[in-house]
């Protein structure tokens, strides 16, 4: 890793810190003091684990802080110093916590973060038809749709899934994300920019992958080995969520959703139903989608260039022509309509839905259900209907204290509970 600054006359251990971490020594010292403030007392091994630096660097930092009378040794544990803050050290740590309350792993530099994201780009992934078929083996999709999805993955460009509710858009998007999660990447706990901290690793988003001791020994512990992330946002998405978020209490930043999704997958569900106008949201996406580069703003107005290396799926129940400008649609190379399914696909979906519920699939009964759905209730055959009707049957049986049975009477009752009658009068 390259250092972010060149400084004169490093003291013993200092040169190693700059060379290996790439951040200022003062930042590492500040994190050490703040960590000890919260820990109270710790061994150098525990301190190294907390800040994610190696033992040699932790010892070098300790020796400097002890020389400045900010910390002291209070004993030994398994031949390792146990250390704590002096009164002067506690005072200094409290001052540092007044600037920001980040206490955790030493951050990586922005330069190193950008290089890492580019080195593990999602656009470098190779997929083929067997990969796509495996990802969707539990769904019933036609060959044309599978080919469109596979082509979109190879392109590395965003896709648009649209169609009526219940046609499987979100399910398809989530299965597509599984294609990306077959390999792993490295995600930093945090990134440092001009002394400011941006937290990136998020346990709610990043699935940690355990590595063997031999691999860990040669890695940088400030990076976490994870599966490629999958982030889902819906109607709660706001324009503020797409920029750096400075916590006014902690005074450090949280990465926006697209930065946490870097090298992975982002699903924008229910597109067009956000609390902000679609045009405003689309304008925010134009440059990142075109240039694979995003621009984030810090509190003082400084602009950061961050790679936009993620596969984006926009899913909507609305007509794209009414919520998306033609210029934006041109930037989305693949647009897939998820509509009504064929009779045969409906049969296959119904059969598969019966298996986990231990209900006996009957072709004649499903034929009657298709006729009932289309003629009596005037509904198209949507992929969600078999599962939803069968759940109605199971719930009704559970309420009555009986074993669920799939027959014409149960189907009729389920349909009446699930669909809105055609003669319903509003008002």
Confidence (pLDDT) at 426: 46
CA distance linking residue 273 with residue 263, whole number of Å? 26
Q: Is the pLDDT of residue 59 over 80?
A: yes
Mean pLDDT of 48-73: 92
> Please, what CATH class does the domain formed by 116-337 belong to?
alpha beta
pTM of the model: 0.85
d(CA 72, CA 369): 78
Reported as a single tens digit per residue, the pLDDT across 309-324 is 999 999 988 887 777 7
Q: pLDDT band at 212, cuts 50/70/90?
A: low
User: Can you tell me the mean pLDDT for 238-247?
Assistant: 92
pLDDT digits 0-9 by tens, 262-304: 999 999 998 888 878 877 888 888 889 888 999 999 988 999 9
Q: What residues does CATH 3.40.50.300 cover in the chain?
A: 116-337
Burial class of residue 188 (count of CB atoms within 10 Å of its CB; 0-12, 13-18, 19+): buried
CATH number of 14-103: 1.10.10.10
Identify the pLDDT of residue 4.
Answer: 37
Q: Does the pLDDT at position 11 exceed 70?
A: no
User: Mean pLDDT over residues 247-270, rounded?
Assistant: 94
Residue 423 has pLDDT above 80, yes or no: no
Of 332, 393, 6, nearest in space to 162 by CA: 332
Which residue bears the tokens 């890793």?
1
> Which range (72-86, 183-197, 320-334) has the least confidence?
320-334
Domain with CATH 1.10.10.10 in the chain: 14-103
Model confidence at 217: pLDDT above 60: no
pLDDT, position 214: 54
Tell me which residue of 242, 239, 222, 221 sits closest to 278, measured CA to CA.
239
Residue 289: which residues within 8 A CB-CB, separation 6 or more?
Answer: 157, 158, 308, 312, 331, 332
Element (H, E) at 305: strand 303-307
What pLDDT score was predicted for residue 273? Answer: 82
Nearest by Cα to 146 from 180, 181, 175:
175
Percent of the chain residues topping a pLDDT of 70: 93
Mean pLDDT over the full length of the chain: 88
Sort residue 9 into left (φ over 0), alpha (ψ -120 to 50) or beta.
Answer: left
Convert the pLDDT of each residue in 351-362 to its tens digit. 999 999 999 999
Task: Express each pLDDT in 93-103 by its tens digit.
Answer: 999 999 999 99
pLDDT tens digits for range 102-138: 999 999 999 999 999 999 999 888 888 999 999 999 8
Q: pLDDT tens for residues 155-210?
A: 888 898 999 988 999 999 989 888 887 789 999 999 999 989 999 999 999 999 98
């Amino acid at each position: 890793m390259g250092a972010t600054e060149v400084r004169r006359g490093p003291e013993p251990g200092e040169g190693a810190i700059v060379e290996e971490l790439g951040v200022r020594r003062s930042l590492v010292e500040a994190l050490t003091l703040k960590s000890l403030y919260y820990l109270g007392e710790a061994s150098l091994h525990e301190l190294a684990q907390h800040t994610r630096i190696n033992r040699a660097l932790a010892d070098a930092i300790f020796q400097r802080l002890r020389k400045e009378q900010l910390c002291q040794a209070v004993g030994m544990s398994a031949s390792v110093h146990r250390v704590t803050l002096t009164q002067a050290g506690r005072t200094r740590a409290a001052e540092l916590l007044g600037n920001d309350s980040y206490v955790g792993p030493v951050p990586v530099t922005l330069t190193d973060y950008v290089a890492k994201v580019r080195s593990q780009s999602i656009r470098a992934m190779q997929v083929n038809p067997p990969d796509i078929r495996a990802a969707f083996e539990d769904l019933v999709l036609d060959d044309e749709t599978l080919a469109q999805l596979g082509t979109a993955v190879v392109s590395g460009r965003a896709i648009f899934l649209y169609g009526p509710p219940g046609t499987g858009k979100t399910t398809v998007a989530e299965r597509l994300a599984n294609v990306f999660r077959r390999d792993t990447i490295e995600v930093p706990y945090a990134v440092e920019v001009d002394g400011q901290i941006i937290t990136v690793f998020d346990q709610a988003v990043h699935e940690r992958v355990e590595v063997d001791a031999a691999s860990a020994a040669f890695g940088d512990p400030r990076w976490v080995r994870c599966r490629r992330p999958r982030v889902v946002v819906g109607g709660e998405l706001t324009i503020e969520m797409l920029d750096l978020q400075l916590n006014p209490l902690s005074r450090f930043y949280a990465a926006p959703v697209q930065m946490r999704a870097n090298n992975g997958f982002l699903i924008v569900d229910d597109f067009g139903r956000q609390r902000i106008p679609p045009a405003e949201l689309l304008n925010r996406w134009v440059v990142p989608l075109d240039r694979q580069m995003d621009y984030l703003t810090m509190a003082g107005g400084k602009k950061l260039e961050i790679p936009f290396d993620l596969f984006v799926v926009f899913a909507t129940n609305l007509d794209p022509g009414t919520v998306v400008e033609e210029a934006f649609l041109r930037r989305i190379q693949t647009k897939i309509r998820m509509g009504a399914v064929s009779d045969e696909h409906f049969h296959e979906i119904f059969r598969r839905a019966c298996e986990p519920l231990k209900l006996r699939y009957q072709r004649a009964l499903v034929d009657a259900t298709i006729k009932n759905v289309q003629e009596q209730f005037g509904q198209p055959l949507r992929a969600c209907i078999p599962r939803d009707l069968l759940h109605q049957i199971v719930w009704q049986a559970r309420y009555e204290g009986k074993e669920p049975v799939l027959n014409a009477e149960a189907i009729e009752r389920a349909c009446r509970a699930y669909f809105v009658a055609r003669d319903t009068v509003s008002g």
